[in-house]
Amino acid sequence: MAEPIDFSATRGLEECMDGPCSYEELRDCLRHLAWLNQLTRAHRPVLQWVERVADSQSGRDRPLRIVDVGCGYGDMLRSIERWASQRGVAVELVGADVNANAVRVAREASPATSRITWVHATCAFARKLPTPIW
Ligand SMILES: C[S@@+](CC[C@H](N)C(=O)[O-])C[C@H]1O[C@@H](n2cnc3c(N)ncnc32)[C@H](O)[C@@H]1O
């Protein structure tokens, strides 16, 4: 069994990602994270959950609304959009990020055909949405 990682030495250190950095630096970092997500199949459990929700809601008269708070590169939502398109499931997808540059990165990484809405906002935005997420 692997030894637990000791993070105590990192306590108090600033997370570089949340510190000021250029658009290009953030874009490269988020792109790298998206690559890691792909490598580790990080989207899979979320897609399985979305599939279960969609199945339990079949017959609904409005789209499934999913908000990704802290969307970063936006790759999770683009995966959901591809899945929904293949399955013919109506979705309304919103990506929110507190960092305006991340919102720009997510938008620029999306194909012109994408209908995902990208917003510069914090998690407080999601709490104010008028209707439940699903
Ligand atoms: C480590 S990245 C992860 C990106 C993506 N969710 C992923 O898993 O690859 C975290 C993102 O959350 C954003 N973030 C951090 N705090 C936030 C908040 N309170 N509201 C919205 N976005 C936030 C950061 O700007 C950053 O883009």
Going by alpha carbons, the residue nearest to atom 10 of ligand 1 is 70
The reply to whether 61 falls in a domain is yes
Q: Pocket residues for ligand 1 (CB within 6 Å)?
A: 17, 33, 37, 69-73, 96-99, 102, 122-123
Contact 101, 23 (CB under 8 A): yes
In a domain, 108, yes or no: yes
In a domain, 9, yes or no: no
Q: Is residue 10 part of a domain?
A: no
Range(s) of the domain holding residue 32: 18-127
* pLDDT tens-place string over residues 72-82: 999 999 999 99
Domain for residue 6, yes or no? Answer: no
Kindly state whether residue 134 falls inside one of the protein's structural domains.
no
Q: Which residue has the higher pLDDT, 131 or 110?
A: 110
CATH of the domain at 77: 3.40.50.150
Residue 11: count of CB within 10 angstroms of its CB: 6
pTM score, whole prediction: 0.85
Is 82 part of any domain? yes
Q: What is the domain count for the chain?
A: 1
Q: Say if 55 falls within a structural domain.
A: yes
Choose among 104, 99, 94: nearest CA to 126.
94
- Indicate whether 57 pLDDT > 80: yes
Tell which atom from ligand 1 comes closest to the C-alpha of 42. 8
